[in-house]
């Protein structure tokens, strides 16, 4: 219990800072350019990251979930690793971190790199034990981590509302319960694509960035 909320907080603080390069440069909030097709690259996964083929599917579902909030919905296409707008990498466990987002520019347009740590055993005894007992709980942790970090990629910042996917764990709370409220919607892996990871606050924050 000691290190992982701290690790999450540190990762989220770093992501929050990285999420606003535009704010420092030109006064505009960081956001992706949805006027053109958004390309993505989902990596195979670093050795030792613990990634599974399911996780790569989860990452794509998470991306499509955010895209569906836009009007019209964002069109995503797979792109080359070198130039994809959004890149998702799987990295080995470290420091109790769930994931992080690093903003970048690619060919003059905003882009984002996500680093997801799918080894749930490293996220503290409570999360690790639940994930071992319940594969859908484990999938939920990986999926919601992807959704959260992709939220940063789209330009959303942290909130203090426990109901939000953009809630920061630095504010504490029952993290198993946080994931269980999504897990409880599921009866199968395929159900993850249909379940709702967002609060009204998340939707409003997205709409404010992409009116």
Report the interface residues with Zn ion, using CB under 5 A. Answer: 12, 15
Q: Are 88 and 173 in contact (CB under 8 A)?
A: no
Identity of the residue, 12 or 62, whose beta carbon is nearer to Zn ion in the bound complex: 12
CB of 82 to Zn ion, least distance (A): 26
Q: How far is the CB of 158 from Zn ion (least distance, A)?
A: 6
- Closest-by-Cβ residue to Zn ion is 12
Using the minimum distance from each CB to Zn ion, give the nearer residue, 57 or 170. 170
Is residue 198 within 8 A of residue 165, CB to CB? The reply is yes
For residues 64 and 70, give the distance between their C-alpha atoms in angstroms, rounded to a whole number. 10
Would you say 73 or 173 has its CB closer to Zn ion? 173
Q: Could you tell me the smallest distance in angstroms from the CB atom of residue 148 to Zn ion?
A: 5
Measured from the CB atom, the residue of 94 and 191 that comes closer to Zn ion is: 94
Q: Let me know: does 49 contact 117? Beta carbons within 8 Å.
A: yes
Structural contact between residues 140 and 189, judged by C-beta atoms closer than 8 angstroms = no
Residues linked to residue 88 through DSSP beta bridges, in sequence order: 42, 114
Shortest distance in whole angstroms from residue 16 CB to Zn ion: 6
């Amino acid at each position: 219990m000691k290190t992982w909320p701290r690790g999450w907080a540190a990762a989220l603080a770093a992501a929050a800072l990285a999420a606003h390069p535009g704010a420092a440069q030109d006064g505009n909030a960081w956001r992706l350019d949805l006027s053109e097709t958004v390309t993505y690259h989902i990596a195979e996964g670093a050795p030792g990251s613990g990634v599974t083929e399911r996780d790569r599917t989860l990452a794509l579902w998470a991306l499509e979930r955010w895209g569906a909030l836009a009007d019209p919905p964002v069109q995503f296409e797979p792109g080359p690793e070198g130039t994809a707008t959004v890149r998702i990498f799987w990295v080995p466990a470290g420091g109790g971190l769930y994931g992080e987002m690093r903003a970048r520019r690619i060919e003059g347009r905003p882009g984002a790199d996500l680093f997801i740590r799918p080894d749930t055993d490293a996220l503290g005894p409570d999360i690790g034990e639940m994930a071992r007992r319940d594969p859908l709980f484990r999938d939920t942790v990986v999926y919601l981590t992807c959704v959260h970090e992709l939220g940063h990629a789209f330009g959303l910042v942290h909130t203090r509302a426990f109901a939000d996917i953009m809630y920061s764990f630095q504010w504490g709370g029952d993290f198993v319960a946080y994931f269980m409220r999504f897990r409880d919607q599921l009866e199968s892996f395929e159900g993850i694509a249909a379940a709702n990871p967002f609060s009204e606050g998340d939707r409003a924050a997205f709409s404010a960035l992409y009116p």
